[in-house]
Chain A
Amino acid sequence: MEILKTILSVTGISTVLTVLIIIAERFLNNYGECKIDINDSEKELTVDGGSSLLSSLASNKIFIPSACGGKATCGLCKIKVLSDVGPVLPTEEPFLTPEEIKDGIRLSCQVKIKKDIKVSIPEELFNIKEYHATVSRISDMTHDIKEYRLEFDAGEEIKFKAGQYMQIESKPYGKIKEKAVRAYSISSVPSDTKAVELIIRRVPGGLCTTYMHDHIKEGDRVRITGPYGDFYRRDDSDQYVFMAGGSGMAPIKSIAMDIIEKGIDKEMFFFFGAVGKKDLYHTEFFRNLEKEYPKFKYIPALSNAAPEDNWEGETGLVTDVMKNYIDTGSGKHAYLCGSPGMINACIKVLVSMDFKEESIYYDKF
């Protein structure tokens, strides 16, 4: 009897409190319908107040880049908020520079919509969509790099600028119970609108790369969003200098092919850094490209070629090799994609060769 009374009372008290919380949430967290005004009334959304700006925009198919899913740990979901939504929260502070705070940049996952709000979203982000795709081809590039072709479902088409990236969501596998969202650059050309190709290098212990390498097979379905990123080709350059390492080849391949397809008559040098011959891939593809377009030069450089490689090409650091081909940087644009260490080293060398800092575009990963 006593036991029953205890159980009933505790359950009763908990239930009453839960109901109270639900009622409180219904009344207190109900901010009615709020309007989101995007880019000076260019687009107007009506949403139910009380949830975050990020999730309200996502439910209206406007995808702000976000890797952590709204937990204020990745700092990617920055957007400019024009109306007053209160001061910057302590959770946002670590991700914003003083200039950004002054400009009204906020983490959209931390801004709660309580009234009508005005925001400014870069035009590119409207282009970001969710795609449902089937893996139609997986090709081994090197011992740890694979290239994937993802065909979109009928009716879905993508518009992107060469150099941009997509985000893939991995599903739980094996002992991994969580989903992970990771970004990979597109290696195919923008004119190929019904599919994207991605080059993915296996990261030891990486959640998403392990998923892609070990668990995704041809014919599998994937969910991807994009295109994201401000690493894309700009016009007005006399000559293009590309430098990449590892899977950093992906956006460069896309940019170079895009230039050729559009018939832009400019010289291009592509320096690809690798350790040994086993790390080179797509060599034949670029050699053929060289033959067809004399203005395109592909220069792979091995930093530590093994004797059995029988390597006759360039050796040493990719930065040193580049200096042998490029005399000065004035009027030229450089596009870099690779590890932060490689990019920082390249920028240093490029600046010393009179490349303007604003003409050096890079994508660190």
Chain B
Amino acid sequence: MNSPQISPFIIFFASIITSNMVLTNFLGMCSFISVSNEFKTASGLGKAVTLVMIFTTIINFAVYRFIVVPLELEYLRYVVFIIVIAASVQIIELAMDRFLPELHIKLGIFLPLITVNCAILGISLFMVIRDYNFVQSLLFGAGSGLGWWLAISTLAAIREKTNKSKVPQGLVGPGLTFIIIGLMAMAFMGFSGIFTIQ
């Protein structure tokens, strides 16, 4: 498949649903499972992830095109991307505190957590592997972020219900969460006939 032919909008919607980062690529599972106890916090983390994904995609796209490729350092992209993500999260946090204090208060404690979210690194790597252009990368980043947000909010909403209901002792906690995630992944796969990018 030659990527540049895919419409950026297809990429956007596909990365929300059929190629969802967490439900089809299993990236960003750690915080997906550990921070999905409450809808409010889960949704907060989801929003922060979306924001960071969009920013880091833009920055990493530029860094890759204008620094990594000219210097023939492609084999170092993992390291470079991680450093860039860590640094940009720091700067985003400072900037948000300054200009969007209310948002910072809501997302504040989640921002540092995002540095180690593998979904963010995944976006940058997929963008390179699939040879996306800038618009495609941007919408891919935005879509994946929204997809991650949708997935974690849904999971949290379901877990809020299951936490209150009686479940077999052995399933309490991660066990049941894994089953729910599996069912959610299948549900998201159900859309695969509409559009696909993988």
Residues of A within 8 A of B (CB): 5-6, 9-10, 13-14, 17-18, 20-21, 24-25, 28-29, 86-87, 89-91, 112, 114
Contact = CB atoms under 8 A, between A and B. Distances in A.
B131 interface: no
Interface string B26-68: 0000000000000001000000000000000000000100010
Contacts of B73: 5-6, 9
Contacts of A10: 76, 79-80, 83
Given A6-B73, A9-B76, A13-B67, A86 B102 contact: yes
A112 B105 CA distance: 11
A10 B76 CA distance: 8
A10 B94 CA distance: 24
A28 B84 CA distance: 19
B98 A28 contact: yes
A20 B76 contact: no
Contacts of B98: 28-29
Interface footprint category on B = 20 to 34
B83 A21 contact: no
A21 B76 CA distance: 22
Contacts of B97: 28-29, 112
Contacts of A21: 87, 90-91
B95 A24 contact: yes
B94 A6 contact: no
28 contacts: A5-B71, A5-B73, A6-B73, A9-B71, A10-B80, A10-B83, A13-B80, A13-B84, A17-B83, A17-B84, A17-B87, A18-B87, A21-B87, A21-B91, A24-B91, A24-B94, A28-B94, A28-B97, A28-B98, A29-B98, A89-B105, A89-B109, A90-B41, A90-B108, A90-B109, A91-B109, A112-B97, A114-B101
A13 B94 contact: no
Contacts of A91: 109
Contact of A25 (B63, B76, B79, B94): B94
Contacts of A87: 105
Contacts, number: 53
Interface in B68-99: 71, 73, 76, 79-80, 83-84, 87, 90-91, 94-95, 97-98
Nearest 10 interchain pairs by C-beta: A17-B87, A28-B94, A28-B98, A24-B91, A24-B94, A21-B90, A86-B105, A28-B95, A9-B73, A9-B71
Instruction: Specify the main secondary structure of chain B where it touches its partner.
Output: helix
A114 B101 CA distance: 10
A29 B94 contact: yes
A284 B105 CA distance: 59
Nearest to B44: A90
Given A6-B73, A10-B76, A20 B94 contact: no
B89 to A, nearest CB: 10
Nearest to A90: B109
Contacts of B76: 6, 9-10
Contacts of A17: 83-84, 87
Contacts of A25: 94
A212 B180 CA distance: 54
Nearest to A112: B97
Contacts of A5: 71, 73
Count chain A CB atoms within 10 A of each CB in B84, B102, B105 and give the residue with the most.
Answer: B105
Count chain B CB atoms within 10 A of each CB in A10, A17, A29, A86 and give the residue with the most.
Answer: A17
A20 B79 contact: no
B64 to A, nearest CB: 11
